[in-house]
């Protein structure tokens, strides 16, 4: 696979992960009123944000019926990634605030969280690669442009 393709797949996956993590920040202390025990408000917000981006992406790509199964697999993975990232964010905030946590333990916890995020990203990249390969060259161009535009906005907005 060409370097540009690998880079694009990795960046696309990171967009959705970053979007989910950003959505999780809408619930500052993760003590969201009314959140059910299986899915927090942060997770629901992350999925809603991901679905909004997915809807725009699907419209721009003009997904065909033949591409629909690959699209659905990709969209499901994005939603799973959004939930997992929000849950990981919640866990990190909770565990890192423990007053008895030592610096070495905090660093080990952060390393474990990074490993989990890397595993999630690897899964996302694999699904994104399969989906990307189902797109026509024109759709791939649209996909690339939307991702670049999003990353430019995301990194220049701060």
pLDDT in tens, 11-63: 455 555 444 444 444 444 434 444 344 556 767 787 888 889 899 999 999 99
Phi–psi pair at 7, nearest 5 degrees: -60, -45
Structural domain includes residue 91: yes
27 close to 2: Cβ distance less than 8 angstroms: no
Give the model's pLDDT for residue 22: 46
Give the model's pLDDT for residue 5: 52
Structural domain includes residue 27: no
Structural domain includes residue 112: yes
Percent of the chain with pLDDT over 70: 70
Structural domain includes residue 108: yes
Structural domain includes residue 54: no
Structural domain includes residue 36: no
pLDDT tops 80 at residue 2: no
Confidence at 156, pLDDT banded by 50, 70, 90: low
Average pLDDT of the chain is 77
Structural domain includes residue 127: yes
93 close to 28: Cβ distance less than 8 angstroms: no
Which residues form the domain of 130? 16-22+66-158
Structural domain includes residue 116: yes
pLDDT tops 60 at residue 118: yes
The reported pTM is 0.66
pLDDT tops 50 at residue 123: yes
Name the nearest CA neighbour of 132 among 50, 59, 73, 79. 73
Domain count, the chain: 1
């Amino acid at each position: 696979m060409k370097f540009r393709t690998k880079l694009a797949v990795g960046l696309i996956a990171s967009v959705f992960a970053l979007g989910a993590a950003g959505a999780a920040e809408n619930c500052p202390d993760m003590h969201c009123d009314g959140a059910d025990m299986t899915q927090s408000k942060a997770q629901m917000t992350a999925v809603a944000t991901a679905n909004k981006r997915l809807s725009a992406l699907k419209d721009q790509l003009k997904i065909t019926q033949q591409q629909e199964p690959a699209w659905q697999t990709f969209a499901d993975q994005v939603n799973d990634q959004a939930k997992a990232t929000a849950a990981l964010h919640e866990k990190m905030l909770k565990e890192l605030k423990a007053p008895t946590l030592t610096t070495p333990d905090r660093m080990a916890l952060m390393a474990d969280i990074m490993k989990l995020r890397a595993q999630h990203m690897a899964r996302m990249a694999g699904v994104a690669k399969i989906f990307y390969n189902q797109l026509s060259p024109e759709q791939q161009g649209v996909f690339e442009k939307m991702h670049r535009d999003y990353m430019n906005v995301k990194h220049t907005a701060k």
